[in-house]
Structure 1
Amino acid sequence: MNSLKLPFAFDANTIKKELAQFSKTEYRDVYNPSVALETLWLKEFIYPIGTPDEIPTFYPNDALKKCPYMLSIFETFKCRVETFRIHTLDAGAAIQKHTDSGYSFEQGKVRLHIPVYTNDKVEILLNDEPVVMQEGECWYCNFNIHHEVKNNSDQPRAHIILDCMVNDWLTGVFAEGGYEN
């Protein structure tokens, strides 16, 4: 299974209100060879704590502490979350076809998306097949295969992105969503 809508529903309007407190200057440009410079922006909401000899634990940063609803989303995931950030793709921008090696359920690490700002002119293609995501939903996609994003609209597209380590809890969530390994 290449994509799966997980059994969560988050309030995108509440997330939007919390994100409104941050200006674009608080985001940073994402350097990625699949994206034109200054078209994809990110803001991190967690940071690692640990020594070089141990696996770090990730904690909410000051920005996430200002966002109680988003903090509750972070705390919903009863697994190791290594990334909790917002990605904003500018209007008219695209993320070219590429793979994110190692991001599949079978490999033990998944990348989840929660659309915050999207519309019907945003295309997410996974192996050239569209995956239609609505605001507030939570989606798993096997990003270990070819995928791309085209924002054909005149509005930015923003998603919360979580990188999660598969554990028993997350395996149960996937089973509840209908995942067949």
Structure 2
Amino acid sequence: MSLPIQVRLDGSYDIKKLQLDLANAERKYSSLPQSGPYHDGSWTGIALRNANGDYKTSVVFGGGTYSDTEVLTSCTYFKEIINNFSFTIGCARLLFVPAGKKIGEHTDTGLNWGSGAIRIHIPIVTNENVKFYIKNERLNWKEGELWYGDFSLPHRLHNQSDITRVHLVLDCLVDEAFLALFPAEIVTKIESYIPITRRKPTVDFDADIPIICTGYFRLPKQVSKLPIFGKLKANALTNQLVFTIFGFPLPIGFHAVEPRRFENLGYEITLKVHDGKRTTLLLENTTENKTFDIELHDELGSLVVRYIKIQKLLVGVSIGLINAVTKTQQYLKRLSNKV
């Protein structure tokens, strides 16, 4: 017995409206290369929703925070599709693969039933000569259809047509509304094979959370032996605790599932200590049964403030090096024509 590789979902969309919105997006916004060394840089995308609301951010980051980008102001049908889903969509992108181009075999980490995050596709422009495979199973997905694919498995694509293949790709957090897209027997089959992690509904956190859960922190030594500092804020509009690591451009959000308990994809945060002088949070990795303490501080010492400047520089340089290596790998693939 094995998990399904692909499933046609309950949903279909107006192809003309999809392609009209696509034309609007392409006319006003540039598509940017996607990350990863398994293509030559020609696989590009336009972000409709992501972690920071900037359509130029091509990194897919499941950090628990998300915002629509300005692209959706010009794409009313895309916005309607996204908003009509009652489950949470953390990332939405238009992905382009030009004629003749390939995406080499790879797997997508963090997208599986155990993590509670799943990717679905709506083809907008495609062709029978687009060869799309998960493992050795061909994906013959048609324009306007809604499909699930298990992208935690090795998958690859070769566009052997003379058109640019375009999909609307949605990264979703699993709950009952999301599972309702699937035939009931498929959900039963999945649950007989692996537990499905469901996102719990967001509730209002306690009124004192913005006061006691705001401050500076150092990542636990079990997480990072190097001292890494950040800031925590409580967002009353989204009922989230939002962590920002200094120098790292994307925030990490935990939504309230109880007035004093927060979750994000296999991690839980609870209030461990608050005695008027200090606040300690308990961070639990529920999949590995590991716990860590995070102490909050109202202020930072002068030496720490100086160190944070170095941390920001080092993180920025590290991100820059990773991007440079990726671009170089893509460039070499373009020169060799080998993907």
Question: TM-score normalised to the size of structure 1?
Answer: 0.89
Q: What SS does structure 1 have at the residue aligned with 2:71?
A: helix
Separation in 2, partners of 1:144, 1:46? 22
Question: TM-score normalised to the size of structure 2?
Answer: 0.49
Number of residue pairs the alignment of both structures matches: 176
1:121-144 alpha-carbon deviations (Å, 9 max, x no partner)? 001111111011000111111101
- Aligned equivalent of 1:35: 39
One of 134, 144, 147 as aligned partner of 1:126:
134
1:111 and 2:114 matched: no
Q: Which has the higher strand share?
A: 1
Q: Could you say which structure has the larger radius of gyration?
A: 2
Offset, 1:76: 2.2
The more displaced of 20-29 and 60-69 is 20-29
- Aligned equivalent of 2:196: none
Matches of residues 138-153 of structure 1 in structure 2 within 5 Å? 138-153=146-161
Separation in 2, partners of 1:116, 1:25? 17
Separation in 2, partners of 1:107, 1:25? 32
One of 11, 17, 31 as aligned partner of 1:14:
17
Q: Which has the higher contact order (CA 8 A, sep 6+)?
A: 1
One of 8, 12, 33 as aligned partner of 1:5:
8
1:164–1:177 CA distance, 2 compared to 1 (3 A): farther
1:171 and 2:174 matched: no
Q: What RMSD over aligned residues (CA atoms) do the two structures have, in Å?
A: 2.0
Separation in 2, partners of 1:145, 1:6? 19
Offset, 1:12: 2.0
8 Å CA contact 1:6–1:177 kept in 2: the answer is no
1:92 and 2:92 matched: no
Offset, 1:49: 6.0
Separation in 1, partners of 2:145, 2:139? 12
User: Letter of the aligned partner of 1:107 in structure 2?
Assistant: S
Offset, 1:105: 3.0
Q: What SS does structure 1 have at the residue aligned with 2:182?
A: helix
- Aligned equivalent of 1:26: 30
The more displaced of 151-160 and 28-37 is 28-37
Separation in 2, partners of 1:31, 1:155? 22
User: Letter of the aligned partner of 2:12 in structure 1?
Assistant: A
Q: What SS does structure 2 have at the residue aligned with 1:173?
A: coil
Separation in 1, partners of 2:185, 2:77? 23
Separation in 1, partners of 2:182, 2:106? 24
Separation in 1, partners of 2:29, 2:100? 20
- Aligned equivalent of 2:163: 155
User: Letter of the aligned partner of 1:4 in structure 2?
Assistant: V
Gap runs ≥5 in structure 2: 54-62, 191-339
The more displaced of 10-19 and 145-154 is 10-19
Matches of residues 53-72 of structure 1 in structure 2 within 5 Å? 55-56=64-65, 58-72=66-80
1:78 and 2:78 matched: no
User: Letter of the aligned partner of 2:27 in structure 1?
Assistant: S
1:12-35 alpha-carbon deviations (Å, 9 max, x no partner)? 221111121223861111132111
- Aligned equivalent of 2:327: none
